[in-house]
């Protein structure tokens, strides 16, 4: 009888090792998913802050600053400002019946649940920067002008947005600047 218990011991040990390995793998995967979700939550917060700063400047004609420094959850991510002339998209994202809208879009080669952000500004809002050939956006100390609506996307950095007012103009112009690195 004593020998029978000794014969079962290696089998029980093997089952215990297999179960423990399974528990460790499941635990590590859960921790990895939690870290990834935390990263995407920080990215979404950075997008919301950027969107709100643009809205403040375009709609309230108030200068605004924002530190746009998303954590970089994936290797090939890009942030873009895209105007849309598509009622289906605008209705879905902006929850309005407008046929035009401006969106802040996150794109990456990986699958995420980050939705587009509706930027509540006029569809005809123009983003300009000093050096773009217009005199509307002046040069600023410690900042350089940047084109935030280019196909290259939005670079990381500390931004300042200023409203450029001009009598008789029917659309908003937002001057965009990013703080020079090393300053």
Residue 137 in domain: yes
Torsion angle, CA of 32/37/43/47, rounded to 10 degrees?
A: 170
Q: Kindly report the backbone phi and psi dihedral angles of residue 140, in degrees, each rounded to the nearest multiple of 5, phi listed first.
A: -125, 145
> Taking the alpha carbons of 89, 94, 99, 101 in that order, is the dihedral positive or negative?
negative
47 in Cβ contact with 66 (< 8 Å): no
Residue 91 in domain: no
Residue 106 in domain: no
Residue 10 in domain: yes
Residue with tokens 């215990």: 16
- For residues 10 and 7, give the distance between their C-alpha atoms in angstroms, rounded to a whole number: 7
Residue 101 in domain: no
> Taking the alpha carbons of 56, 58, 61, 65 in that order, is the dihedral positive or negative?
positive
Residue 52 in domain: yes
Q: Which helix (H) or strand (E) holds 11?
A: helix 2-60
77 in Cβ contact with 107 (< 8 Å): yes
Q: What is the mean pLDDT, run by run of 10 residues, along the chain of 183 residues?
A: 65 84 82 85 94 94 93 88 92 88 88 86 88 76 87 90 84 89 61
Tokens standing for 10?
A: 């290696």
Q: What is the pTM of this model?
A: 0.81
pLDDT, residue 183, reads: 47
Spatial CA neighbour of 68 closest among 51, 46, 43? 46
pLDDT, residue 161, reads: 94
pLDDT, residue 1, reads: 47
- Domains identified in the chain, total number: 1
Residue 107 in domain: no
Task: Classify burial at 87, counting beta carbons within 10 Å of its beta carbon; exposed 0-12, middle 13-18, buried 19 or more.
Answer: middle
| Residues of the domain holding 70 | 2-74+124-179
């Amino acid at each position: 009888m004593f020998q029978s218990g000794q014969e079962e011991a290696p089998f029980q040990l093997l089952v215990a090792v297999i179960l423990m390995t399974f528990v460790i793998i499941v635990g590590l995967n859960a921790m990895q998913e939690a870290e990834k979700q935390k990263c995407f939550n920080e990215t979404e917060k950075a997008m919301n802050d950027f969107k709100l700063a643009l809205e403040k400047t375009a709609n309230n004609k108030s200068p605004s600053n924002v530190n746009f420094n998303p954590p970089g959850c994936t290797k090939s991510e890009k942030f873009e400002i895209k105007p849309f002339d598509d009622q289906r998209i605008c209705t879905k994202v902006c929850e309005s019946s407008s046929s035009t809208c401006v969106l802040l879009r996150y794109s990456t080669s990986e699958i995420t649940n980050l939705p587009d952000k509706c930027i509540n500004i006029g569809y005809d809002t123009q983003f300009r920067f000093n050096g773009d050939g217009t005199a509307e956006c002046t040069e600023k100390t410690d900042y350089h002008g940047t084109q935030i609506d280019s196909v290259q996307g939005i670079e990381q950095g500390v931004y300042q947005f200023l409203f450029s007012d001009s009598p008789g103009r029917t659309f908003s112009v937002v001057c965009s600047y990013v703080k020079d690195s090393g300053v």
